[in-house]
Structure 1
Amino acid sequence: MTTSSSTILTESGTNELEIIEFHLKKQLPDGGTKICYYGINVAKVREVIQVPETTDYPNAQPHMIGVFSSRDILTPLVDLGGWLGVPTPKDIDKKFVIVTDFNKMTNGFLIDSISRIHRISWNDVESPSQFLEAGEQDCVVAVVRKDENLIMILDFEKIIADINPELSMEKYDITVDRSVDLNQKMVTKRNGKTIMVVDDSAFIRSLIQDTLSSSGYNIIACKDGGEAHEKLMELQKVSEEETVPISEVINAVVTDVEMPKMDGMHLVKRLRDNEVYMKLPIVMFSSLMSEDNRIKALSLGANDTITKPEIGKIVSMMDKYIFGEE
């Protein structure tokens, strides 16, 4: 099975996506097994392959089986079941590997079986907070109900960051970034502005929020596009009732692409169709931001895009669109 990011449906603003359903076979204490259902956005998957020959990597992180060559790219192979705490059969020859390609990185994840591709609306994708209190350490960003099963959509960015901390956005420290103006005058200036941050990953949302807050900006955080749209409609009502411009209430939006209820592309489309929000600065911050997807985002009305590892650009970009600072 192979796939291409060009198949992603969220980019057209239709609020749809395709997910690949895959399974881990959990071994139970009584010797039986239980199928665990998981999913990943098709746009993040390069291909699904049989388990390749791997080479041990010195001093590797826990749950990293080894490395292999995927289209001439050195690729780590991660024991997904091991990382999730799901004990699975040891017979590696009967397993498969999902090779992912996002955040400018290629990774392989060991799974027990591949099922099929589902085309669904983001409206039918539920937030995990409806099932449990999702914190920054949670690795499930969404849940899909299919054929009486709950398919858990995993936060692969968090998994990769945990396995290879050197590549994580957590390494970014705004206080040592000389490209960001942190003098008191500029920080005070930012204190008068509010940015909405929208991301279904509590892990990523917290990183963006901390970075922008550290530079002085006020933050409104939302866990998905549906919640963001509701809050923006509430802010619009406040603006109208108090007869103040919307810029007195909200100054910019930073949004992910793939999210439950309403994806980022559809959120941008809805906002640009609303006269009040036609000129609000909107930046899309996503692991799926290929050049093709960037063009689609801009065509829907986004002002700019950032690929998720490039968190160091976000404050300067906000300064540019809010204050006209280059």
Structure 2
Amino acid sequence: MAGVMESVNQRTQLVGQNRLELLLFRLEGKQIYGINVFKVKEVLQCPKLTNLPQSSSVVRGVAHIRGGTLPILDLSLATGNPPIQDLENKFVIITEYNIRVQGFLVNGVERIINMNWEDIQPPPKGTGHEHYLTAVTKYKDELVEIIDVEKILAEVSPVNDDLSDDIITEEVAASAPQIEVMIADDSKIARKQISKTLEKVGFVVRQFNDGKEAHDHLMDLLEQGINPADKYPILISDIEMPEMDGYTLTAEIRSNPRLKDLYVVLHTSLSGVFNKAMVSKVGADDFLAKFQPDLLGKMVIDRVVSLGLTAPQTPSEESK
């Protein structure tokens, strides 16, 4: 297992190349699942678990690891499948999502593979509204399913997505309905959380399911003679998205002279291994770890206030 996890934290060279590395694992059954290596802190054989009274059935217990106490979630149960059995012979993937560390109980861990985000596709239609997949891909002719971990965590331990009232001034509330904010995120639960926060301020939220969809929209605006930086004061983008990730979306924006002025914030659950150097590398204006509604709301409010409570305007428009 040490060989599988070797150099996990040194894999930042993939940033901006629309590539990722997936740690492949199995639950109960033959289906292969994947998780972004950037979110993995450690893989170990399932330690002794202590029952946690009044917790969700998905939480099989807590484990004492590296001086801390972590909840261990059964990913099989969390996705509506039978619980994992024979725990002493199973594995736990220690991850960091949304500024929280937890372990995911899995049946077995296989290997790390290097993928192109263009080969990662949205889940096929017909999987149902309540499906737990955020993307799918293929490896050696086998389907690899990527679980929407944010959805699972929101169900097991809901985050507070309320925005503090004192963040919203009367002036901001009056101007917000005229201001559109663009967001790109492949997770339905994440889009819902972000939209709820920004809509409470009064902003109009324009949602996109992945980086390619967002980039196509920006290019469509240019074809119509509209500068996206004039329409949107800010683009809030996830990093992990099928077809085009947030790093590549940002790099594409910065490399296009007609898009380069768009203000981009990377908003991601990759809090544990992400650092400011990555933001600088792709040219994003800022970074915010999920999910912190007050910080998110304040970031957007501060941006529009810096623009005079309006979307940015070109000099020709200001003179009209």
Deviation at 1:107, TM superposition (A): 0.9
Residues 1:291 and 1:156: Cα distance change in structure 2 (over 3 Å): closer
Q: Which residue of 2 aligns with 1:215?
A: 201
1:89–1:164 CA distance, 2 compared to 1 (3 A): closer
> Which residue number in structure 1 is paired with residue 90 of structure 2?
95
| Structure 2 partner of 1:64 | 59
Shift of 1:314: 1.4
Which position in structure 1 is the counterpart of 2:11?
A: 7
Task: Tell me the residue number matched to 2:189.
Answer: 203
Question: Any idea what SS the aligned residue of 1:39 has?
Answer: strand
What is the TM-score with the length of structure 1 in the denominator?
A: 0.87
- Quote how far apart the aligned CAs of 1:172 are: 2.3
Please give the residue correspondences for 1:159-238 in structure 2 after superposition, counting only pairs within 5 Å. Answer: 159-165=152-158, 168=159, 171-174=160-163, 176-178=164-166, 180-183=167-170, 185-238=171-224
Counterpart of 1:124 (choices 116, 119, 124) is: 119
Q: 2: CA distance between counterparts of 1:86 and 1:133? A: 15
- What's 2:40 paired with? 45
Q: Percent identity?
A: 30
Shift in Å, 1:20: 0.6
> Which residue in the other structure is 2:312 paired with?
none
Q: What is the match of residue 108 of structure 1?
A: 103
Q: Structure 2 CA distance, aligned partners of 1:195 and 1:252?
A: 6
Aligned twin of 1:76 = 71
1:36–1:245 distance in 2 versus 1, CA, 3 Å: closer
Stretches of 4+ moved more than 4 A in 1? Answer: none
For the aligned residues, what is the CA RMSD?
2.1
What's the secondary structure of 1:14's corresponding residue? coil
In the alignment, which residue of structure 1 is the partner of 2:253?
271
Give the Å deviation of 1:140.
0.8
| Structure-2-length-normalised TM-score | 0.88
The residue type equivalent to 1:173 in the other structure is: D
- C-alpha distance in structure 2 between counterparts of 1:199 and 1:229, whole Å: 12
Structure 2: distance between partners of 1:36 and 1:317: 41
Q: Distance in 1 between matches of 2:98 and 2:182?
A: 22
The counterpart of 2:296, out of the listed 314, 320, 325, is 314
**Structure 2 portions without partners, runs of 5+:** 309-320
Change (3 A) 1:232 1:246: closer
Native 8 Å contact 2:184 2:207 kept in 1: yes
Q: Which residue of 1 aligns with 2:25?
A: 22
Alpha carbons 2:39, 2:273 under 8 Å: kept? no
Whether contact under 8 Å (2:73, 2:103) holds in the other structure is: yes
Residue in 1 that maps onto 2:81: 86
- Report the AA paired with residue 168 of structure 2: D
Distance 1:8 1:156, change over 3 A: farther
**Cα distance between partner residues in 1 of 2:246 and 2:174:** 30
The reply on whether 1:303 has 2:285 as its aligned counterpart is: yes
Instruction: In structure 2, give the amino acid aligned to 1:317.
Output: M
* Offset, 1:88: 5.1
Cα deviation, residue 311, structure 1: 2.6
What CA deviation, in whole Å up to 9, does each residue of 1:172-221 have, x standing for no partner? Answer: 212x442x1242x3223122221111001011011101211221211211
In 2, Cα distance between equivalents of 1:231 and 1:245: 11
Matched residue type, 1:22? F
2: CA distance between counterparts of 1:8 and 1:132?
A: 35
